[in-house]
Structure 1
Amino acid sequence: MVKRTSHKDVACGVARPLDAIGDSWSLLIVRDAFEGARRFGEFQRSLGMAKNILAARLRHLVEHGIFEVVEPEDGGAHLEYQLTEKGRGMFVLLTALRQWGEDYFFEPGEAHVHLVDRKRGQPVRRLELVAQDGRRLTPEDTMVNRDGVD
């Protein structure tokens, strides 16, 4: 197997989190957690991935502080995986990825799932990048500031 390059010492807010995410399976595991999955079997049934791969991904996500292992609320024998604050912080990331996917990976009129406001049942408003003064920003309006970075 090819050894992954670590980005843990890179001064980039895109590269560094990739060590914690690892691969697409990890994002799907986190997605399922936001949809209510908590137990190993629930993740396995939803994703259909091999148990050894799922176990490795969950262990990796726990090691990176995205999940914590907790006793089940119902007193059952199976431990549960609960998103930490760090893991819950991925909600905006997954929402942005979902909206990008809806824009570019479905044919017009093709059925797909939608994120809706649980209280009102309405679609979630599009994410936007907004400047301090309220202006909507595009890539051309931004730059990466490398001051103080070697």
Structure 2
Amino acid sequence: MNKDRFADMSCSVARTAALIADPWALLVLRDLFLGLVRFDELRRDLDIATNVLADRLDRLRAAGLVVREPYQQRPVRHEYHLTDAGRDLYGVVLSLLAWGDRHLAVDGVPMRLVHKSCGRPCTPTVTCGHCGEELVDEAVEVLPGPGGRDAPGTAVIAQRLFGAQDRADDAGESDVHEAGTRP
């Protein structure tokens, strides 16, 4: 799979997928979130080949999601820590966990989450940053953004989004948002 193709698409989902849409990369992120930061403990936990783990960590580092810091000099050993950009993927990993718990955990959930603030078990949900309401597909309208364009990977979506903008313009609602680059 040519990840560069996805990284060049005018789509945040495609660009993010180019970085982390690989089971090993996601599992490395999961383990980093769970506090496993040393190469040997990551390798042992994941039961992953050394070269595969090194490749995933190198890719996460190159993407600015992880930094490598020495913790021992002889021999040199490193710990891997999430950057701010890497920590921002926590919600993505939790969303995958919640979906898997709901649809694939036939023997019961592998891990339980407890919200530290209230001490209660919790299920991750995606909510509106303004009102706190849960975001589900029926409750969200998608409009074109300033970086949107008709390009490989977004040609039909761009036509639909900008077509919706044209209909809004025709109805006199063009000041609702800024449409950005037109196809």
**Into which bin does the TM-score normalised by the smaller protein fall?**
0.7 to 0.9
Bigger relative contact order (CA 8 A; separation at least 6): 2
Residues 7 and 16, structure 1, Cα contact 8 Å, conserved in 2: yes
Shift of 1:113: 1.3
Residues 33 and 83, structure 1, Cα contact 8 Å, conserved in 2: yes
The percent of aligned pairs where both chains have the same amino acid is 31
Shift of 1:121: 4.9
Matched residue, 2:82 = 83
Deviation string 1:40-84 (CA, Å, 9 cap, x unpaired) is 111100000111111111100100011011122x77731111110
TM-score normalised by structure 2 residue count:
0.70
Matched residue, 2:45 = 46
Q: Distance in 2 between matches of 1:42 and 1:124?
A: 27
Relative to 1, partners in 2 of residues 1:13 and 1:4: Cα closer, same or farther, differing over 3 Å? Answer: closer
- Larger Rg over CA atoms: 2
Matched residue, 2:142 = 144
Find runs of 4+ consecutive structure 1 residues off by over 6 angstroms.
Answer: none
Relative to 1, partners in 2 of residues 1:52 and 1:140: Cα closer, same or farther, differing over 3 Å? Answer: same
Relative to 1, partners in 2 of residues 1:6 and 1:111: Cα closer, same or farther, differing over 3 Å? Answer: same
Number of matched pairs? 147
Relative to 1, partners in 2 of residues 1:75 and 1:106: Cα closer, same or farther, differing over 3 Å? Answer: same
Residues 113 and 123, structure 2, Cα contact 8 Å, conserved in 1: no
Relative to 1, partners in 2 of residues 1:111 and 1:27: Cα closer, same or farther, differing over 3 Å? Answer: closer
Relative to 1, partners in 2 of residues 1:7 and 1:116: Cα closer, same or farther, differing over 3 Å? Answer: same
Q: What CA RMSD, in Å, does the superposition of the two structures yield over aligned residues?
A: 2.4
TM-score normalised by structure 1 residue count:
0.83
Residues 131 and 137, structure 1, Cα contact 8 Å, conserved in 2: no
Relative to 1, partners in 2 of residues 1:3 and 1:10: Cα closer, same or farther, differing over 3 Å? Answer: closer
Relative to 1, partners in 2 of residues 1:50 and 1:15: Cα closer, same or farther, differing over 3 Å? Answer: same
Aligned partner of residue 14 in structure 1, secondary structure = helix
Matched residue, 1:130 = 128
Matched residue, 1:16 = 15
Matched residue, 2:108 = 110
